[in-house]
Structure 1
Amino acid sequence: MKIKNIVLGITFCSGIAFAQTPKQEKDSIAVEVEETQEEIDFTKKAERHPGFDRVIEPQFTSFSRSSSFLNEDVLFGLRDYHQPALIDSIWQQTLLDSRLYDEMQESIENIPYNDTVNKAISTEVLKERLALLNAKTPFNVTYNESLESVIQYYLKRDKEVMERLMSLGHYYFPLFEEKLDKYDIPLEIKYLAIVESALNPRAKSRVGATGLWQFMFATGKMHGLDVSSYVDERMDPVLATEAACQYLSNLYKTFGDWDLVLASYNSGPGNVSKAIRRSGGNTDYWELRNYLPRETAGYVPAFLATMYLFEYADEHGYQPYQPEITYFETDTVKVKQLIKFDQITRVTNIDTELLEFLNPSYKLNIVPFIKDEEYYIRLPLVETGIFVANENLIYNYAEEAILATAEEKPLPKYYEADDKIRYRVRSGDYLGRIAEKFGVGVSKIRRWNNLRSNNIRVGQYLTIYPRKPVASNPVNIQKPTSTKNASVKTSEKYYIVRKGDSLWSISKKFPGITVQNIQKWNDISGNKLKPGMKLKVSNG
């Protein structure tokens, strides 16, 4: 069968549902924590957490404000705890660049099926390499013209795309291999996730197949993957890989042939069974292709071509970026109350985009807390220890921030529906945060500004049509009523306690002031405050 009869589904991101479109970002809930530049003196050193099951020797480095990976608005003084391995700029861009998925989708429509000119490798050499590959894998990697055409095409396409996929593979493959080995599944199945999703954990097809392994809603539920307003476990790399292994293992018990397992994963076991019947009982994939759905006819060649390119990457001159952080350099922490990614970013050195990459299953960038259920946040190893050592402080901050937002709402400034503003991107901004701030969708901001991806840069101007009020900054300090009084006590300041205030939250409003200062200056011992109380907040 000539390659022209193979549907465009042979490319890397043809998934269970074949054609896919990138998942649109969900809008965050409207819980905006008031930003502040002040910091408190908090330098307690976190030791290695006893729960770690691996011995690590992190290389601590001095904190540098110039590092593009450290959050510029870190709230607490935890800066002595650097990430165990800083992620270089090229690698981080590779991890977070959603354009990779778009580029691969576009390539589906432009494969030259009949192109047999300008071969990237001679047929003779290819036959030799496929024979070697066939000898060490349970898959049928024997040479045929259709498979050669797919491999030749992949070798001639954008080299950078393949190198970026290989870089992502350095992060995900150790996880995949660990789970595949657990279920006694060939380790080469790890390449299936490339064909399914281009290693994008938030990939979503036009029919709803989602995640690295492209589970449909019902199939995911069958394998224990929860989907709710906050969480889509089909996007969780660990849970989805576990579910995929269970599904693949069951398919192998049914068919007893890994080529047919691949075909079944794509089109469903029912379609493969029908193809076997129509072929007169033939169970060889290459003999069944004419009886399978068109997209499945190209699915296995795409998988085998991907396997070839990864196994012979050095021979073809691919030079993927080596990651400075791997899956095994991360660990998880069970959350004890609802917490937002923004809040974690404010108290650690972890950039929000890295949190999103490590925790793609949280659709709103919020880790929920629900009784009798368990939710975890994945962090770099050293930051895991810091989080555990300081979790009471972190949770107190998160609770204070949410209460302050819910109970202290100053008079807002309203924008008319048709008003247009120009917003300048600041350090720590990302499209989800900006969308939440103005009550609009991420997809709308991208459309208004002709953005191909969610990547933005500091200093960039965005056109936005706000759809919700934007609060002005509240004034907390009573100003002197006369010039004379001001000249007598210029350094004396007072603060009127409002509902939801605590000594800690008040101290945060005044740089250099601690809870102990406020207690001493106002002769109070506890932490109980009443709305309307007048507190001295300076040593005047």
Structure 2
Amino acid sequence: MSLFPTFRSRRLAPVVLACTLFGGCASSGGDRTLTPVDALYGQLNQASKGYETALQQAREGNADASALSLRQSLDLLKQSSARCATTSGCDPQRFFSVFDRLLRLKDGHFDDIPDLSGDVDSSQALLATGHAGAASLPQAQRSVTLLHGQKLSQLIAMNGPVKAALEMWLTQRRPYLMNAWVNYQYLRHEMWPTYQKADLPEALLFGMVAQESGGKVHAVSRSGASGPLQFMYSTGMRFGLGVDNGFDMRFDPAASARANAEYLNEQLRIFNNNLELVIGAYNGGEGRMRRAVGDDPSVSFYDPRIYDQMSPETRDYVPAVLAAAWLFLHPDSYNLRFPKVDGAPGSITLKRAASLDELTVCLGSADGMGDGWFRTLRNLNPRLDPDATQPVGSTLQVPKRLEGAYASRCVDGPWPILAADLHSATVPVVPDPAPAKASARRTTTYRVRHGDTLISIVRKLHCSSVQELSDLNDLKHHRIRAGQHLQVPVCR
């Protein structure tokens, strides 16, 4: 039984709150005064009841009363949890458990209440869409997409590894998380629709983008995984990410999101909708995960039989993806404010020849983009070499908000002239003695087979490295294709 009655009306709420905040109200029998710890636990219980009352009032259509009850209960929860740290005998884990339960309660019951629906509040839902106004309201439901019959938040176990990953995202990796958010918002119109069509939650997409590439479309790992969702060459080919007119489709954000969704749904069927195992398979390989799981796909990823067989990278990867997804769903609950981004897509037609580098210079910090627009222009035009000059009449994809800035800054005036002057600058070339040394090493020819990657070829040679093969063949982004002939060292 709770220590305090549930809110009955808005008029009673201040009295109850005053009583609980100061811990000075006698028990119903009048025979004792609550200890400081009892008072805090009473506040915790009352905050929980008040939260439930707010949600019930929202269901009944009483928005004003709901907003008041919600604000009071959350303020009470924050104040009491802050006091717990300085109160002898108070268990902070008890507060965290209630906090976690309230977030899950919110997910489970309010899909039809715009102000409290989904996993984020309405303001966060509007920010994430990149728009404001009534047209954005349906997006408030975007975070509660069912993952094969269950809500995403119900699948994320708030255990030690996930908590540690949450702290990492909120501290050391916070700048990386923020950059991933901004990059994703400009790519959202390309990546989210195909994910939504596959009935997968957007929070999961963001979590994988944040962990894999930070939203950098042209990211390439040391092992040759490429693109915003870091597909290996052979896996990419399996899901239709081949080469199109010389362009590696792993770098295409829409195509990579589609392939990622197809991969996850395939593995969810194999692993009986066990999301943690599927995410682990995405990073560590489905073959390795199948061997570890055997005939029991219901086993937890954190079971020592599974966890101990995974590489350190995969052990970190799974909770990191889930923690980033959780923060996407509940930013306010962790004192996190993602920046407002208007990612509405647009385009420009060049009035004068320019490269992406030159456009970045002449746009400067237009529309408040302190870090400049290079990453966004590069992401939205993945097929273009940023150094290559595009002719007059070329159409480039840009955020709609930049259309006016292009017309005012990059067509006439001093900025395009400055940008062209910088871009045409030449740098003296100093002969590199490395090629002469490399030429002394005997080489032979290797024909690339389907499924080959640079790392797999290196493993066959036993005496080379990915970087050596890349330098020897002047490879860009470690890209290779079936049928290609590579120069490889003769190994003894």
Q: Which TM-score band applies after superposition, normalised by the shorter structure?
A: 0.3 to 0.5
Greater RCO, CA 8 A, separation 6+: 1
Structure with the bigger percentage of helix:
2
